[in-house]
Amino acid sequence: MKKFTFDYLSPRVVFGPGSVSALPDEIERLGSRRLLVLSTPEQVELAENIVDPLGDKVAGFFDGAKMHVPVEVIQKAKQAFANADADSIIAIGGGSTTGLAKALSMSLGAPSVVIPTTYAGSEMTTIWGITQDGIKKTGRDAKVLPKTVIYDSLLTVSLPLAITVTSALNAVAHAMEGLYSTELNPVIESMCKQGICALFDAIPRLVQRPADVDARTDALFGAWMCGTVLCHLGMGLHHKLCHTLGGTLNLPHAETHAVVLAHALAYNLPYAAPTKRLLEEILGTDDVPGAVYELAKNAGAPLSLAEIGMRTEDIAQVRDLALRDQYPNPRPLEADGLEALLNNAFHGRRPAYH
């Protein structure tokens, strides 16, 4: 076993069906007195029901969370925080709401409690992202980690199947790409395996029975593991491409991950033999990109970037942006290879090693 240093970062986690009932105790533990509750417009009613037991500690609501965290939304949320004279944040929802909570924690120093309703896993990471002028900027800051994350699988039962599948594939991407990170250690490798196995097992079960609480709980555990991986490891081509596609073209976040993952693996794995062998062992196949593609296909996830809003003329722009900043990746970033990857993903072709 190689030498390694592991600086473990994690919020407090309350996990399991019905665990949202612990919210009042967690708020008391945090010492919060005036809370701003964040959500999207679609989830404001759910948010209101969840925080109802907190009574007059709820100082206000902001239901304007948006995908990719536009800087304009952050400004409005900061004003809502000030108007409410709030001291803390509760974020209820998916990655958009969690991302907004992170931006507020970073700029205002406000602690947060996050209650995820999807499987993206960003609530477990120090990574923040903000979109301004069509460019998504990301970074890491320990201040954005929630103080507590409450994982209640009962809150995910009503999540539409399409969002369930793409969100779960988004989480899988963290663990699969984490396996070829130069920062990988045995602890995080174990989390990668647990996350991938839990989600690959849960997704087909949820396709058959979307309201299966046990499958929802397994998926949420997988998301927790995969999010922790993302927190501790640098990511490569897959995540960089998805940030470009999302921030520049405003493509939907989880759906973009669901489409790109198989193609990024086909590009990288021939240059990452240990990761390739490990994933083949985990999935029981020597065609890892094909297995990811088939999982998405059988679950009804989008398979092409074209069907989620990309245009043919965007391919060259995304290729060039991907080449602009070099970063650790198993395979060198090559214009021809990236263009082939993007073309295959654009048309939804079944990926193959090349």
Is the pLDDT reported for residue 345 higher than 80? Answer: yes
Question: What's residue 309's pLDDT?
Answer: 94
Rounded (to 5) percent helix, strand, coil in the chain: 60, 10, 30
CATH 1.20.1090.10 region(s) of the chain?
A: 161-347
**pTM for the model:** 0.92
Would you tell me the crossing angle of helices 253-268 and 237-249 to the nearest 10 degrees?
140
Is the pLDDT reported for residue 103 higher than 90? Answer: yes
Cα dist from 321 to 119, 126, 308, 315, 326, whole Å: 28, 24, 20, 10, 10
| Sequence-separated (6 or more) residues with CB below 8 Å from residue 272 | 179, 180, 330, 331
Task: Confirm if 177 and 239 have CB atoms less than 8 A apart.
Answer: yes
Question: What's residue 2's pLDDT?
Answer: 80
Token duo for residue 118:
């999807």
d(CA 78, CA 84): 10
Token duo for residue 191:
């989390």
Is the pLDDT reported for residue 346 higher than 80? Answer: yes
Range of lowest pLDDT (243-247, 311-315, 332-336): 243-247
Token duo for residue 250:
């405003």
Residue identified by tokens 């199947």 is: 161
Is the pLDDT reported for residue 192 higher than 80? Answer: yes
CATH code of the domain made up of 161-347 = 1.20.1090.10
Question: What's residue 170's pLDDT?
Answer: 92
Mean pLDDT score, 64-69? 93
Residue identified by tokens 């069906």 is: 17
| Sequence-separated (6 or more) residues with CB below 8 Å from residue 94 | 40, 116, 117, 118, 120, 163, 167, 254
CATH 3.40.50.1970 region(s) of the chain?
A: 12-156
Is the pLDDT reported for residue 1 higher than 80? Answer: no
Residue identified by tokens 């599948």 is: 165
**Cβ atoms within 10 Å of 36's Cβ, excluding its own:** 28
| Sequence-separated (6 or more) residues with CB below 8 Å from residue 234 | 181, 182, 183, 327, 328
225: helix, coil or strand?
helix
Cα dist from 210 to 6, 94, 112, 292, 336, whole Å: 37, 18, 30, 20, 41
Range of lowest pLDDT (131-135, 168-172, 227-231): 131-135
Question: What's residue 136's pLDDT?
Answer: 82
d(CA 155, CA 160): 12
Q: For the residues of 7-70, what is the DSSP string, one character each? A: -----EEEESTTGGGGHHHHHHHHT--SEEEE--GGGHHHHHHHHGGGGGGEEEEE----TT-B
Q: What confidence tens digit (pLDDT) does each residue in 246-294 have?
A: 888 989 888 999 999 999 999 999 999 999 999 999 999 999 999 999 9
Is the pLDDT reported for residue 354 higher than 80? Answer: no
Question: What's residue 67's pLDDT?
Answer: 87
d(CA 152, CA 157): 10
Counting residues of the chain whose pLDDT is more than 90, the rounded percentage is: 86
Counting residues of the chain whose pLDDT is more than 70, the rounded percentage is: 100
Question: What's residue 137's pLDDT?
Answer: 86
Q: What confidence tens digit (pLDDT) does each residue in 40-54 have?
A: 999 999 999 999 999
Is the pLDDT reported for residue 325 higher than 80? Answer: no
Is the pLDDT reported for residue 135 higher than 90? Answer: no
| Sequence-separated (6 or more) residues with CB below 8 Å from residue 210 | 157, 161, 164
pLDDT band at 134 (very low <50, low <70, confident <90, very high): confident
pLDDT band at 326 (very low <50, low <70, confident <90, very high): confident
pLDDT band at 120 (very low <50, low <70, confident <90, very high): confident
Mean pLDDT score, 323-329? 84
Q: What confidence tens digit (pLDDT) does each residue in 146-166 have?
A: 999 999 999 999 999 999 999
Mean pLDDT score, 59-75? 95
CATH code of the domain made up of 12-156 = 3.40.50.1970
| Sequence-separated (6 or more) residues with CB below 8 Å from residue 105 | 89, 111, 112, 143, 144, 146
154: helix, coil or strand?
helix
Task: Confirm if 181 and 275 have CB atoms less than 8 A apart.
Answer: no
Mean pLDDT score, 55-80? 96
Total count of residues recorded for the chain = 354
Question: What's residue 173's pLDDT?
Answer: 95
pLDDT band at 24 (very low <50, low <70, confident <90, very high): very high
Q: What confidence tens digit (pLDDT) does each residue in 206-218 have?
A: 999 999 999 999 9
d(CA 281, CA 117): 31
Is the pLDDT reported for residue 240 higher than 80? Answer: yes
The overall average pLDDT reported for the chain is 95
